[in-house]
Structure 1
């Protein structure tokens, strides 16, 4: 049975499954911390929300890419992926805090594509930094 679990196809399917579950969980957390309903806004065509959410999805996936690459156990990969996600979440709150002239959530919810784009770039850019620091 050990040979089955260590087969590259089984390992790949395991990592993939765990990352998809983590992504669903992490996106649900983002849904809770934003003032708008991500999926309802995307359904209505709100491009700012789509960009911000897409950046979060890319950021989470990028962090887990590095986590998978740097760790050879599923538990270590999950631990570092969760840690990276927490850093990404902190970055989101910092973006809101560092823009006192306007409310990021309100602007994105209202369809401000410039704010949505910057939010996307922050998520994507910092995911590379987090990914590079995962050991």
Structure 2
């Protein structure tokens, strides 16, 4: 009955993509957290909303890149490789943003809990991910 609706092979392939790109995304988020001079997860646990907003932007940006990598590649390996390339470009773009705003110490302001800076940083992460996703598609 369901064989006309659900192809078992497609379900398994979906699970493979979910697991592999999910693990790649988690690894990318962990790396991004390690690149900040403060402890993202500790500050989030302590209620720093600016860090939470900024980190949410990174999560959304990374997963947006992974989504486009899946949609534009014919293989799981290709999707993973392009997802990683996209992540590397996102990190580079984020550091360029920090360098381009020398009068605003983004990291210190976010660590201090400046929500406005957290929102801008999250928006920059999303904007960078949209540009990267357009480039890899």
TM-score between both structures, scaled by the size of structure 1:
0.91
Question: Structure 1 segments of 4 or more deviating over 6 A?
Answer: none
Deviations 1:101-133 (A, max 9, x none): 132111111101111101100111221121121
CA distance in 2, matches of 1:132, 1:8: 26
Match in the other structure for 1:3: none
- Give the number of equivalent residue pairs: 130
Question: Which of 18, 21, 26 is the equivalent residue of 2:20?
Answer: 18
Are 1:60 and 1:85, in contact at CA under 8 Å, matched by a contact in 2?
A: yes
Are 1:35 and 1:109, in contact at CA under 8 Å, matched by a contact in 2?
A: no
The higher radius of gyration belongs to 2
Q: C-alpha root-mean-square deviation of aligned residues, in Å?
A: 1.2
Match in the other structure for 1:129: 131
CA distance in 2, matches of 1:20, 1:28: 12
CA distance in 2, matches of 1:104, 1:10: 43
TM-score between both structures, scaled by the size of structure 2:
0.90
Shift of 1:76: 0.5
CA distance in 2, matches of 1:32, 1:134: 25
Gaps of 5+ in 1: 1-5
Deviations 1:52-91 (A, max 9, x none): 1000000011001111001010110011101110111011
